Chains A and B, each alone.
Chain A
Amino acid sequence: MVGMNSMAKPVPRSVVEGFYKALASSDFAALDPYLAEQVTWTISGPVDILPFCGKRSGKAVVLKLLDRDIPAFLEKRRLVPSVMLVDGDRAAVFGRLTASRGDIGRKISYRIAQFVRFENERVVEYTSIIDSFDAVEQVLGQQLTLPGGTRAANPELVAI
């Protein structure tokens, strides 16, 4: 069955909560011990528009992404989890990421889902899915359109 490895050592909920407390508050000194040396960190989305998207490997690279690269693009980044699930060696969190773009004085907020796998109480694999269309529109500060400027098939409908 997918998502269940009977041989894997379960991660305690307290460890998942500790990891997320550090991640959500951008406390990277506290986050460091939760990351395995060979961690892979994947954020799904268009890397040519949202440069923090893509796949990174290695603890040092991931910490640089979180501590320097993302803050250079999005300031005051904060993860607000709404649901946290723990199952064996895996965890999943759904929530909302809020941030601001200081250069243009704009606040942004978009939905995010995160799937994390632990080994020996350290994160070895992180994958996130973001509502990337919403994120891109907020980052750019304008509605996306088709070539020619068309957009709404039905102007009474709104994005959620």
Chain B
Amino acid sequence: MSYSVSRALVDAFYKAYATREADKVAPYIHDDVEWTISGPVDFLPFCGTHRGKANVLDLIEHQVKAVLRTFSFVPDEVVVDGDQVAMLSRQSAKRTKDGCTVSYRVANIMRFCDDKVIENLSLIDSFDAVEQVLGQQLTLPCDARPDDGALVTV
């Protein structure tokens, strides 16, 4: 019979992950985990693929915190199917360099093995995230961004 992750385990993992504290997240991370955050690593240095439990815990505990201090990670959707879980969340954080608040949506697809995360892919609204993290608008071709205050990012 194939493995299925329980919703209770997923909820427990999510609460631990929301703390961004390595000692609380560690019990849920597989030794052979592969953890990918999709985005431009030259603007958001924590993006990219990180392999192995130690590297992923370092990512959570140190690399992300060097840029952002997450204080809220609220799930809007949690979809559990077999050994896989999809989450849609709103992440709010303070920029480490100046304490300004940023907020953007995150989608995670995770695969569990033996009640531990062995694979994660995080998708973020990366254009929005980069502009918020940098605290300034990116430079675009002169005709690419209309000067229209009525338009907003969702």
Contacts from A to B (Cβ < 8 Å) = 1-4, 42-49, 53-55, 83, 85-87, 90-92, 94, 111-113, 115, 127, 129-136, 140, 142, 144-149, 151-155, 157-160
CB neighbours (8 Å) of B130 from chain A are: 133, 144
Q: How far is the CB of A111 from chain B (nearest CB, A)?
A: 5
Q: How far is the CB of A71 from chain B (nearest CB, A)?
A: 20
Roughly how many angstroms separate A159 CA and B57 CA in the complex, as a whole number? 21
B42 nearest CB neighbor, chain A only = A152
Check if B134 is an interface residue, CB within 8 A of chain A: yes
CB neighbours (8 Å) of B105 from chain A are: 44, 129
Query: What is the number of contacts between chain A and chain B, taking CB atoms within 8 Å?
Result: 172
Contacts from B to A (Cβ < 8 Å) = 7, 11, 36, 38-43, 45, 47-49, 75-82, 84-88, 105-107, 109, 121, 123-130, 134, 136-141, 144-146, 148, 151-154
B131 nearest CB neighbor, chain A only = A46
Identify whether the interface residues of B are mostly helix, strand, loop, or mixed. Answer: mixed
Interface centre among B106, B134, B154 (most CB of A within 10 A): B154
Roughly how many angstroms separate A140 CA and B124 CA in the complex, as a whole number? 19
Asked if residues B81 and A87 are in contact (CB atoms below 8 Å), the reply is yes
Asked if residues B45 and A133 are in contact (CB atoms below 8 Å), the reply is no
Q: Contacts A48-B145, A85-B86 given: A54-B154 contact, CB under 8 Å?
A: yes
